[in-house]
Amino acid sequence: MLLPGDSLLRRRDAVEVIGAALKARATGASMTRVAAGVAGVAFATVRGWLRRFRVVADATRARFTVLAHELDPLLGAIGATGSVVGDAVEAIGQAARAAALRLGPIDAWQFAASASAGRLLCNTSCP
């Protein structure tokens, strides 16, 4: 079965919704504030996204940093943000930016879903 580009494996919510929560957490918002900002999604669901992403954040950062440099060989170092979640979100953003420059406009979180084959938050393997 093929997974749509706006979905993640074993997740019901659109990747843009999940991505917005991850981005908010990466900027320092508390888990409670992040969950309150996601309308119509249970606190436990948002907490699950954030916890799972924290587990895979370092591998995600590494994979998307490599991908960003493959797409844009002139890209400099990706700056550290001070948190593993922030670093991973920054690497996703830089890779999406590099993909957009090379391939045309693309939503950053749809790019992340596609580049990870829908496994961005998967608990069975890393992206």
Is 122 contained in some domain?
no
More confident site: 118 or 123: 118
Q: Is residue 99 part of a domain?
A: yes
Secondary structure, 3-state, 62-106: HHHHHHHHHHCCCCCCCCCCCCHHHHHHHHHHHHHHHHHHHHCCC
Is the residue at 103 inside a domain? yes
| pLDDT tens-digit map of 82-115 | 999 999 999 999 999 999 999 899 889 888 888 8
User: Is the separation of the CB atoms in 56 and 125 below 8 Å?
Assistant: no
Asked if residue 68 belongs to a domain, the reply is yes
pLDDT tens column, 6-24: 556 566 677 788 889 999 9
pLDDT tens for each residue of 39-80: 888 899 899 889 999 999 999 999 999 999 999 999 999 999
Does residue 9 belong to any structural domain of this protein? no
**Tally of domains within the chain:** 1
DSSP letter at 119 equals: -
Range of the domain at 93: 15-115
